[in-house]
Chains A and B, each alone.
Chain A
Amino acid sequence: MPISYYIILSVALFCIGVVGVLTRRNAIIIFMCIELMLNAANLLLVAFSKMHHLALGLNFPTLASEAQVFVFFIMVVAAAEVSVGLAIIVMIYRNIHSVDINFLNRLKN
């Protein structure tokens, strides 16, 4: 399976995530789109790892596994971010009873 397929797939996912961030105004949805972007990265990372494994696996057996461990760490970070992010969103909601980012424009210019 040519790597380009995977690249395009995950780039597509990534860009969809970007579009989401650009177009939606619900903080939670935006956040989800960001998660989507992260996952796109993960997917591509795994694909690349297997690609490198195919290329150099004989000389460096453990080489490709690094990438997958990296994915693992990404998930870790994502989890941490989510906990903080949702906390912030909840805090906002507590104060203005909305998560619409358009209501957040006290800071400008």
Chain B
Amino acid sequence: MVGIIGSAVILGSFILSLYAFMQVKSGNTHIAHYFNFINTESLKIGFDFQVDQLSSIFLLIITGVGFLIHVYSTSYMHEEESKDFAKYFAYLNLFVFSMLLLVMGANYIIMFIGWEGVGLCSYLLIGFWFKNNHYNDAAKKAFVMNRIGDLGFLLAVFWLVSKLGTANYTDVFANVKNLTATDITGITLLLFLGATGKSAQIPLYTWLPDAMAGPTPVSALIHAATMVTAGIYMIARSNILFTMAEVTQPVIAMVGLATALLAATIALKQNDIKKVLAYSTVSQLGYMFLGLGVGAYTGAVFHVMTHAFFKALLFLGAGSVIHAMGGEQDMRNMGGLKKYMSITHLTFLLGCIAIAGIPPFSGFFSKDEILAAAFAKNPVYWVLGVLGALMTAFYMFRLYAMTFRGQFRGTHEQAHHLHESPAAITIPLSILAILAVVGGLVGIPAVFKEGGHRLEAFLQPIFAGSNDYIKAKGHSHHLSHSTEYILMAVSVLGALIALGYAWSKFSKYQKAAAEEETGLAKVLANKWYVDELYNSIIVKPVQSLGTFFNNVVEKRGIDGIVNGVGRAVNYGSRQIRLLQSGQIGTYVLLMIIGALLLFIIQLFV
């Protein structure tokens, strides 16, 4: 019942956003002012919503994928007792609400409200099974790291407000020219810090893999399809700022690229099926930031969309596998599931191909667009990007092969109830699979078909400012078709090779007795020890500083002084009262001395 309501609501909003999309498509975007959130002489924040091309795309993704995942959840979560089941859907809907708030807000404050709202929901959903304290820690980690990003976001907003006196997109983007270079650099860097938090980029990415503690549909919706793309949305939204920020763009590109590679390398050696997908998500997000960094905003958004499709698909597929395996997540104990769960297998395979970037699947188009732009900016980017692509292909097919090919390596009772998942699971899988296959066709690059890139055309008004700016600057050199062909060929070919290698290596995978990782492999298996690093350079010092303040500064230092005064008074009292010796002689003597003092002061000073 609850599930139906929950899903129905989202379906409704999906239909509405379709309607909104049609409206926008027919060219009338709209900003709706509801009421004044804050309205004082010094600060005016309206509770305004804005529906334009960018937000409508995201609306579709969120509500669409969201709806599918709701449906999926109705079956996936049915073991939960009804109370928790209801709670789960409540959280999920709350998440969709905040996400919509985020993308529909017409100023940075409303966006921030959604921004933190989704953080909250991710916190709640990661820690959904709150009996387990590891999950709670993961949830806490996610929230705190997001908070770090949020601080950057806030400061950026303050900066904007203090310079321009407003946080409305329209006003801000209209008055960008009033900002000095330092302002823009600072603002964009801070915004980017916010993005790294939300979208799991270096240095704040470590929460995302841990976030897999949550239920798998949550990982699919929040930690793959929607929330983590908020950062991309935000930067795409304020693209004009970033286009003008000469300093920031390379930073974004490099960080994105580094993240893509780092995460890819880690993914190579993970055995937890969800962990692999998590790192692949991080890596894909890295690509998106690369795209943003090189000014390929459309490409980034495009990749967001396609990624939403196939990554959601992959996660849900993984979920269906885990479901079948009775909660088992270690790929080493899987294998040969092909014959038990055909639909899952098929859809999963499609997803893998899509993400590996094999034409004409969706992943190919979006990733290729980004890579092309990267090449245009700086060939090195492209080389590294392709390297990452190869790794992607490799680990995805490693995953696929270990899971579905070869012999089943699990226990017997697992083998017993291996079964295909119910319709509520398979239908969303199929739909997403279709999208993953065809989704790329909205953005066919010009080399194949002039004007084939409908998405670009659609989003054109959003990025017009940036494009004009670049034109004005005059360094917008397009690649010749031939180079583009070559680039594509290289990347696709590489991908195929990597794919084949993975296939050959893992389709006959057997569990070795005790495979002790060594050297680089060990490092990768342990995720480059980044968590440990953070722990030792940030968490530990903060903790010990707190202890120091609490035990030393507070008790001995400040409070010590305060109490010390009291003790001093007591001590002084005990000493002074000894003057009162009881002897008249002493008394008179002291009196005389006092009198002498007065005499001296009066007569000789």
Contact = CB atoms under 8 A, between A and B. Distances in A.
Interface residues of B, number: 11
A105 B581 contact: yes
A108 B584 contact: no
B130 to A, nearest CB: 64
> How would you classify the secondary structure of chain B's contact residues: helix, strand, loop or mixed?
helix
Contacts, number: 28
Interface stretch (B188-196, B443-451, B585-593): B585-593
Q: Which of A101, A102, A105, A109 has the most CB of B within 10 A?
A: A109
Interface string A56-83: 0000000000000000000000000000
A108 B585 contact: no
A109 B580 contact: yes
Given A109-B577, A109-B578, A109-B580, A18 B585 contact: no
A30 B583 CA distance: 13
Contacts of B572: none
B474 interface: no
Contact of B582 (A25, A30, A104): A104
Interface in B555-597: 577-578, 580-585, 588-589, 592
Nearest to B581: A108
A30 B584 contact: yes
A22 interface: yes
A106 interface: yes
A108 B588 contact: no
Contacts of A21: 588
A105 B592 contact: no
A4 interface: no
Interface in B371-424: none
Q: Which of A22, A102, A105, A106 has the most CB of B within 10 A?
A: A22
A95 interface: no
B582 A22 contact: no
A102 B583 contact: yes
A21 B588 CA distance: 8
B501 to A, nearest CB: 96
Contacts of B581: 105, 108
A22 B589 contact: yes
Interface string B212-255: 00000000000000000000000000000000000000000000
Interface of A: 18, 21-23, 25, 30, 101-102, 104-109
14 contacts: A21-B588, A22-B589, A22-B592, A30-B584, A102-B583, A104-B582, A104-B584, A105-B581, A105-B582, A105-B583, A106-B582, A107-B582, A108-B582, A109-B578
Top 4 nearest A-B pairs (CB, nearest first) are: A108-B582, A105-B582, A109-B577, A101-B584
